[in-house]
Each structure stands twice: as structure tokens, then as C-alpha cells.
Amino acid sequence: MSAGAAPRIRWTDPRLRDAWLIALALLLVWAASWPRLMINGDEYLYAGEARTLLHGRVVPIDGDPLPAPLHAPGSVLRYPLGWPLLLAPLALAGFRALFALPCLFHLAGVLLFARLLVRRGLPAWNCLAWALWLPALPFARTLMTDVPTATLFLLVLDAWEEDRPALAGLAMALSLSFRLAAIFPAAGLGLAALLEDRKKALRCLGGGAAAGVASVLLGNQLMHDDPLRSPYSENGLQLLGAHRLGAHALLYLAGLLVFPPFPLAAWLRAPRRCDRWLLACAPALLFAIVYDYQDQSPSLLETLVGGQRFMLPAHAVLLASTSPVWALRGFPRARLFAAPAAAAVFAASIHFTRPLYDRYAPAVERLRACHPASIAYNTSASRIALSVDAARYRLADARDPRGLAEVAVFATRAPTHQVAQSIFVQPLPASLAAEPCARAGEFYLFDLGGRCLAPESACEGFTRR
């Protein structure tokens, strides 16, 4: 099948019933295990910027939930504004409400994938391939942009096939406003449009890409007074060193070969049965191979799974384009087990990532139990402090935290899950050296305002001099 227009399929189409049941099963698992904290170092930057935008500010000031040094508040603004702008309205309901947006994108991606399958004459329950795509599952329950961007690329495919080029262009613009690196799989889709000779669709995709890039440049101007410079782009350019060509080629190609339903193997087996959408993978793969991001985790499995996140939009496109080869037909009873299987595997993936949450949960829960109005913290404890709702957050890297806030949380080392990643050490402030404190894992919590002294409190370990 080509990447051209096809008959439109309504969301109420009976053929999508299994997909709706799978999405419902995933939603129930989401509700039963709603995230309570952030485990990734980038999450608190997205969440912090979203909550800063609620105050009508782009650049944070002292007291906003971003670890911004007073002398250079804009230095912490690393990423485009598209994702924080969408998160901002949810922040009105508190920190944990932010996770409703990645949940929505996760479920929408499953339904969009199912509609792509049905349009190809395939059973909708094969959307399990994306619903349970192993590299995507660890990031589905985070505030990262990887799964939402992949969902937007599925929307581009769906809108194009339904001959809705304007919607495809809008989805393209939004994906680039989330992460500029999406320009690489976008270029591959543009090549597919060129080969299909669909000039209107190509114009809409090009216009959407231009609008997305323009939004990033505008954000840079607002955040850094220069549309062409930002920590995001500068760090990205520094990592284009191609020093891990062999390792990254093996990593990203293996990700497409070893995870079921093995989309790369499907393409190699029957390339003529695949859509031209798979051209989106070529630029994305080349970029990932030359991008020198340190993605080595303590175990081979964690490296193989977690290292794929830069490729998730290309993965989604490749799975859809190779579905005529790998999708299962027949097996009428298989659909009866699709929704329970989705719930079971999703729950299992949450269980296996639990050690990452357990590393930070004791400190977050103990701090949350204090119901602080203000929190002081150092950079190494950012994800702890910013996972707790408060009116003010005070970065105390170079300041005496006493008098800044009611409670303080500090870590002496920046937490990381990457092997060989540089780790800076932050000693505890000398002013707190003699202060009794409570320790939760690798984090130190101090009661500076006498709020956590009740014997029945979860913070009963706090004492006051």
C-alpha cells in the first residue's frame, strides 16, 4: 500500500472496538499506578518551566520551581517551549496532574496506530505492537517528550492517509515545537511525500515543519534574547562528534531487530509490502548514530531499551509501515486476550522500573508529608524538591538555606543512572553541619521552620535545636 489517501475511518467504527478495549485496559493500569514523582533529570525542567509559565514568566525568578542560579536564570532553560506550554494548564491542579498529558498521548497513540492498521485491512488488536513496544514503555509514564512526539508522527500518518493535509501539518509543527530533533524523521516523511508526488501534502508538511522551527526560534528569543542560541542547540551541536559510530549503529539497529514484532526484519523479508513511510527512519537513524549522547546503563537490557528513546518517532513510523508484513491475521480468539495482555504487560513494565522510583520515593513522600509552603534545595536534589507541591522553591547551592524556606532537601551527589556520566559533588552547607536531620536514601532533609515535629507525622525523624 502506498502512503497516499485512503477511505476515512470513524472512531466509532466497529473494527476499532478491540483498540478501544486495549486503551481502556491501559487507562486502568495508569489510574492504579499514577506517577508520584520524577525519575528523569529532564522531567523537572519541563515541569518547572510549565509551572513558571503559569505565573506569566518565561525566564524564572527566585522562588519558581526551576533550579536557576540567580546570576543566570536563563541558563536552566534548555528545551523548546511547546511541551511546557501544553503542560502548564494542568499544573493548576498540582504537580501530579501533569502526568495526565503523557497518559493522553500514550492512549491516543495506541488508537491512532489501530486506525492505521484497520485502514490496511488488518485486525485492530495488532495495535498491541505499539501499545507494548518495549522501548516506549519506560518513557510513557514520564514527562519526557519521546512518546508524545511519536504519537504526533502517528497522527501525521493518519491525517495524511485520510487526506487531511492541514491536520498533518499541524501535527508536524507541534512535534517540532516539542523537540527540534524531530526534523530528521520529518525529513524522511517529506521524502515519502515527494515520491508520492502529493504536492499539497508536501506543502502542508513543509509549512508545518517551518512553523515548528519558527516556534523554537521564537522561544529562544524569549528565553535567551537570541533566536539562534540556546543551551539546547549548543549542547546538541557539541554532541555531533560521531565518536560512537559502531556502538550506536549496533544499538539502534538491534533495537529494531530484537524487539517484537521485529519491524526491521519484516522490512528485510518483504520490502515491497511495506509503505514508503519507512523512509522516515533513515535520517533519524543517521542522526542517532552520529549523536554522541552517553546512553550506557548498568545492564545490557537497560542500555538496549533506554537507549532507543531518540528513535521512538521513527520506531512508530516503521512499525506502521511494516505492519502488512508482521501483523497477525485470523486467530479470532486472540482478540479476547488482547486487552488483558496489554494491561498485564504494561503493569509488568511498571514493576520492572520500580527500582528507579524506589530510589527517590522515600525522600519525596517524607517531604510531601510536611506540606511545606516553601522548599530549599540544592541542584543535586532538584527532582526531589520539585516533585512536591509548594508555593516557593529556593535554590540554595551558594546560599544559607536557613531563612529561605520551611524545609530543605539536599544531596551530596547528583543522581544518575548512566555509566561513566560525569557526576559533580555538592557538600552539605556548612551552616547545616550541626543541624539534626532526617536521611531518606541518599537525600538529607532538614526542618527549618518547625513544621514536621508532630509524633504522628511521617516526618517525625526531624528534630529542632
pLDDT (tens digit, 9 = 90+) per residue, 262-276? 999 999 999 999 988
367 and 332 in a common domain:
no
Q: What are the φ/ψ torsions at residue 440 (nearest 5 degrees)?
A: -125, 100
pLDDT-based confidence at residue 123 (cuts at 50, 70, 90): very high
Q: Pairing between strand 374-377 and 443-447?
A: unpaired
Instruction: Please state, as a whole number, how many other Cβ atoms lie within 10 Å of the Cβ of residue 107.
Output: 21
Domain boundary among 354, 379, 394: 354
435 and 339 in a common domain:
no
What is the b/e burial string over 110-127, where b = at least 16 CB atoms within 10 angstroms of the residue's CB? bbbbbbbbbbbebbbbbb
324 and 390 in a common domain:
no
| CB 408 within 8 Å of CB 446 | yes
Residue 4 lies in a domain: no
pLDDT-based confidence at residue 455 (cuts at 50, 70, 90): very low
Residue 455 lies in a domain: no
pLDDT recorded at residue 433? 66
What's the rounded Cα separation, in Å, for the pair 256 and 262?
6
432 and 331 in a common domain:
no
- The H or E element that residue 411 is part of is strand 407-411
Question: In sequence order, which residues have a C-beta less than 8 Å from that of residue 83 and are 6 or more positions away?
Answer: 46, 145, 148, 177, 178, 179
55 and 25 in a common domain:
yes
The CA-to-CA distance between both ends of the chain, in Å, stands at 74
Residue 422 lies in a domain: yes
Residue 458 lies in a domain: no
Tens of pLDDT, residue by residue over 136-148, are 998 999 999 999 9
Residue 37 lies in a domain: yes
Tens of pLDDT, residue by residue over 208-225, are 999 999 999 999 899 988
394 and 263 in a common domain:
no
The whole-number average pLDDT for the span 295-308 is: 76
E strands along 319-378, which residues?
A: 374-377
Domain boundary among 321, 354, 387: 354
432 and 291 in a common domain:
no
Which residue did the predictor score with more confidence, 333 or 450?
333
267 and 399 in a common domain:
no
C-alpha cell at 148: 508524545
How many domains does the chain divide into?
2
Residue 5 lies in a domain: no
Beta bridge partners of 392: 374
Domain boundary among 354, 371, 387: 354
398 and 325 in a common domain:
no
| CB 136 within 8 Å of CB 299 | no
What's the rounded Cα separation, in Å, for the pair 344 and 391?
38
Residue 461 lies in a domain: no
Residue 459 lies in a domain: no
215 and 180 in a common domain:
yes
371 and 322 in a common domain:
no
347 and 252 in a common domain:
yes
| Structural domain harbouring 142 | 14-354
